[in-house]
Amino acid sequence: MVVTRRELLVKSCATAAGLVLGAHHLPALAQGTPVASPVAGGSAMLATASELISTDPAPQYLAIMDQGTYETAHIPGTVQISWQDLSLADTSEDAVSAWTESTRQLLGVAGIAPDRPVVTYDEGTLFAARGWWQLAYLGYPPSWVLDGGLPAWNEAQGPSETGVADISPLEAPLIDAGVRRDLLATKAEVLSMLDDPDVLFVDARSADEYNNGHIPGAVNVLYTSNAIMKDANRYLDPETLRQRYEEFGMTAEKHAVTYCSTGVRGSVASFAMLLAGFQHVSLYVGSWNEWGADPDTPKE
């Protein structure tokens, strides 16, 4: 039996609607740390506007954009977080631990519950991938990116609202869904992988940024090259993405580490590579802001 993405969304939302969030009860969807990749690859990671408009009950919506853009227009019920709120420029063990907890708290204050499906979107920047990655890292159930973002929603004549949505912060203690540590790479880990032929470093910045300095051996794949950049920027199909990264030396067996300057463009590359079906993909969250500022890190 073939299950469509819309059927999957409806089933997930309906299942989550029957779960009660309690201080001493962990919903089944939020228990433990999954062993496999949080995604199966392929278009199941993406949701179209037409699918979402007709999904009942509706999933949670998380907009990765600045406050002003969000207040101008957004999908009804959406909560907003900027990508800057998720940044980390120090990937030492203590800093990662503190940041993990602070971002979990941030999502809790925003009312994003770990027992309901989440759809992240942007205004056309592709930066919804940063929110998607954060949810996956924190162990939330598999979520979706709205392909094409808010422009695609408007194309499909989906409803919108202005101002600020009514937010209900989660009651403490927040549910710890289990961190997917394999999705994150630290500076120390990157240093240990530099001479590993089974690791591919993917720099998602512009060519000028890359030429001015990059992690040794990194290939330059501009983050926007993962999508068809038109009025509504939609991702390339999984097979095209797979072929594109294979041209840069990626294989099913290799481990990819993506980065940019702050981690937001690198998250687009991570999302695209997972969408293509590659299973071993990590985001170096500290990215060039951390690497470039350290006089002891090697640079090309």
Q: How far apart are CA 37 and CA 44, in angstroms?
A: 13
Tokens of 42: 């392929």
Which residues are 282's β-sheet partners? Answer: 257
pLDDT of amino acid 18: 38
Under the banding of pLDDT at 50, 70 and 90, the label for residue 1 is very low
Domains within the chain, CATH numbers bracketed: 5-180 (3.40.250.10), 182-291 (3.40.250.10)
How far, in Å, are 12, 13, 114, 166 from residue 19 at the CA level?
A: 11, 10, 11, 21
pLDDT of amino acid 17: 38
Under the banding of pLDDT at 50, 70 and 90, the label for residue 12 is very low
CA–centroid distance for 62 within its chain: 11
The H or E element that residue 289 is part of is helix 287-291
- Average of per-residue pLDDT values in the chain: 85
Tokens of 92: 């030492």
Q: pTM for this structure?
A: 0.86
| Region at 189 (left for phi over 0; alpha for psi -120 to 50; beta for the rest) | alpha
User: Degrees (nearest 5) of the Cα angle 273, 275, 280?
Assistant: 50
- Cβ neighbours of residue 210 closer than 8 Å, sequence gap 6 or more: 203, 218, 220
Quick: pLDDT tens for 214-230.
999 999 999 999 999 98
* Secondary structure E strands in 128-254: 144-146, 184-185, 199-203, 219-220, 227-228, 234-235
Quick: pLDDT tens for 158-204.
999 999 887 777 765 455 668 999 999 999 999 999 999 999 999 99
Phi, psi (degrees; rounded to nearest 5) at 148: 95, -10
Mode of pairing for the β-strands spanning 234-235 and 255-259:
unpaired
